[in-house]
Amino acid sequence: MEMNNILLKKQIEKFLIEDLGHGDLSTEYICDHNHFAEAIIHVKEKGIICGLDVAETVFKLIDSDVNFYKLVSEGQFVESGQVIAKVAGKASTILKGERLALNLLQRLSGIATMTYTYQEKIKNYNAFVTDTRKTTPGLRLLEKYAVTVGGGRNHRFGLYDAVMLKDNHIKIAGSITKAVQKVREKIPHTMKIEVEVETLEGVKEALEARADIIMLDNMTIENLKKAVEIIGDKAITEASGGITLETIEEVAKTGVKYISVGALTHSYKALDISLDMFDKKS
């Protein structure tokens, strides 16, 4: 997934308004206009770095003359203590952008690191970790980007770009068959339909209804194996439901193609990253 720079700038502008409001009182009362400084951004624990362009955009939107130097690549694994970027410019710019830049950099790196850890667990299987819509409101674009930097795959971005019939849709429609039929009549022929099932009977009905993707939700390992065998190459398989780092390898062994993990974007731990400034008053 590539970052949409226009959308990114609009989002960060909103974040800056939230944080700066009418101005940074602490900084404006301390810093002279021509007070210049440098800063290093360094990590305090090992992990995957994600969001360097995002952090740079924060500072550039405050002052386009600020210089941001990336010392590592996006998606690079770094060790504790490693300097990942340097910032040079007006001290006021660095101080105003510090917290927002770090907030985003820490969170995106945390997601990328967690995704990498999950994907590494199943690297010997033909399976891929994918995210969900369980994202932070306002941060979905960035969080899903971080998943791809960590080596994971993106599921649908919203309710608008794919059909996914879950248990409540099926209840309203009356059955899996009826739900798929109703949707199939309305959508373009180019769009896939995913159906969530919890039983082997549901798997069979979804296949008969010609679902393109079958999500195997909260199934036991034994039933996952049986479901994958039943489906074969007649539909894309996806496992979901409380899958953890401890259980994901067993899930991958069943032969399922995709494994969706909501925790990637709702239960990640932010990577510990700090910014230290050095005065260069001139």
**Within 122-238, where are the H helices?**
140-149, 167-173, 176-184, 200-208, 221-231
Contacts of 17 (CB under 8 A, 6+ apart): none
Just list the catalytic residues.
99, 134, 166, 196, 217
Rounded Cα gap, residues 105 and 266, in angstroms: 16
Rounded Cα gap, residues 61 and 197, in angstroms: 46
Q: Residue 99: what residue type? A: R
Strands 36-43 and 273-279: antiparallel
The count of other CB atoms within 10 Å of the CB of residue 232 is 10
Show the tokens assigned to 125. 């299987």
